[in-house]
Every structure is written in C-alpha cells, then in structure tokens.
Amino acid sequence: MQKKILALHDLSGYGRSSLVPIIAVLSAAGHQCVPLPTAFFSTHTAIPDWVTSDLTGVMQGVINQYDELGLRFESVYAGFLGSAEQIDLVQQAAKRLCADNGLTLIDPVMGDNGEVYQTYTPEMCRRMRELCEIADIITPNTTEAAILLDRAPADKPCSAEQTWEWLRALHTRYGAQIVLTGLDYEKGQVGSACFDGEQGMISLHARINRYYPGTGDLFAATMLGALLNGSDLNRASAFAGEFVKDCIAYTETQGTDPMHGVQFERLLGRITSR
C-alpha cells in the first residue's frame, strides 16, 4: 500500500528548498506527499528581496478537515517553523493524524554554521526542544544538536568518539532515533551519523567545496522515503548522504548560481529505481 506523508514546511517558490525537493523526492520514492505549507516565500531567504505570506491561519482548518475525513499518515514530517503557534500545530498534527506505528520526523531547523537563525529566539529554541520530545526521528545538524543539548551553538563533534557521545546524549535526552548531519571533523570529508538507541554508523564522503541551500531538506526527505520503503536507519541515512553528494557534484558541473539550489531533478531516477 502506498504510504502517505504529511509534510509541514514552508514553500519557497524559487531556489530548490523546503517543499519543492521534499515533494519531488518522496513522490519519486513511491509515496504520496501531502504538503501543509507553514508559509509561502517567493524564494528561499538567502536570495535578497524575498516576499512572504504566513499561513499559520489556515493550518488549524487543514488539520481539522483531515482529522474529520479520517486521514491517517504513515509519517508526519516537519521542518522550518516560524512561530510557537506553528510548533503547537505540528504537535497537534502528530497526535491527531499520525497512523498507528507511524513515524513523526522532526527536522529542528534553528541554525547552521555555529549560529542560531535570527528568527529563532531563546523561547522558540525551547519550544523546538519540546517538539523533539514527541519525535520518533530527529535530524539536527551540529549547530542544532548543540542547541538541543543546551551547549554553545558553535560547539560540534571533533572526532568519531565525540560524535558517538553526541548521538547517545541526544537519544537519552529525546528518546528518538538520531541522525546528525554536517559532520566535518575529518579533513576533506563531510557526512552524517545515525543512532537508533542500539546501533548506528558514521557515513563520511569527500567534501565538495560548494554550498547550496536546501540540501538538508533533500537529505531528510530522501532518508524518510527510504525508511518508509523498508530500509533500516543505517542504510537510509547512508543512501541519503550519497544522493545529496551526487546532486551537489552534478550541479557543480553545470556552473549555475549556488543560490539556485542543487539540480536534483535528473538524479531522481536513482530513488525511483530502489
């Protein structure tokens, strides 16, 4: 039976971030992605002069309608959230709409590169910790993991041993499966690590020295699609890392503006064929 995912994220029209790659990747994996946009942005926010419209006001009605229709989702998946009210609505969606044995995946988008995003106040960071407490899987980068562990945002693991300490600390604190992204303690390499409470793995690959927005969304959606198709956490996170790396490598050969995002479209066949 086809799996349904309720995806609560912002929709950025241009720049290949948030719901744009998420819908494409989950659809390629054979699932039905049902988007519930938290906001519309003309472009992602790294491109100047964007315009936006907040959609908090429609989210409650959507959740109510889906509940009344009896819709239940094999996964409720949330990413960037703009307010405490939206965090409340994600909690409500997970409680009311996630199927029995479904997965609640929280990508706690709060910061990157050692800095908290300007939109995230200490109160919002505290509320995001509360949201992660109801998750089955969380996918923080190292900056977000530090925030979740009440450490300085610039702290990050500097070795494999420290990576395992962070993974165990996050699992102990939140009781969720952990996927930690943005690891860069090995020269010339970057990658992720995962831990389900019993086992896990670290997956590193050669660094491509180019930054593209939206790769975190691409990673999480690819991993979730693989999980819902029966992969275990180790295989799903390793596959997601390789897919993102290959998308970055392909995009680099095309010479496009990095702010326009990674050209994942021509590589979607790799997801469809799994």
CB 65 within 8 A of CB 91: no
Residue 244 CB neighbours (<10 A): 29
Q: Is the pLDDT of residue 37 over 90?
A: yes
CB 25 within 8 A of CB 16: no
Angle subtended by helix axes 215-228 and 233-254, to nearest 10: 140
Residue 252: the pLDDT is 96
Query: What is the tens place of the pLDDT at every residue in 254-273?
Result: 999 999 999 999 999 999 98
Q: What percent of the chain has pLDDT over 90?
A: 93
Q: What is the pTM of this model?
A: 0.96
User: Among 31-40, 110-119, 171-180, where is mean pLDDT lowest?
Assistant: 110-119
Q: How far apart are CA 161 and CA 237, in angstroms?
A: 19
Split at pLDDT 50, 70, 90, the class of 62 is very high
248: Cβ–Cβ under 8 A, 6 or more apart, which residues? Answer: 208, 210, 212, 215, 262
CB 194 within 8 A of CB 214: no
CB 18 within 8 A of CB 11: yes
Q: Which amino acid is at 183?
A: L
Cα angle 185-190-195, degrees, rounded to a multiple of 5: 85
Residue 198, token pair as written in the block? 């019993």
Q: Is the pLDDT of residue 119 over 90?
A: no
Q: Is the pLDDT of residue 209 over 90?
A: no
10 Å CB burial of residue 266 (0-12, 13-18, 19+) is exposed
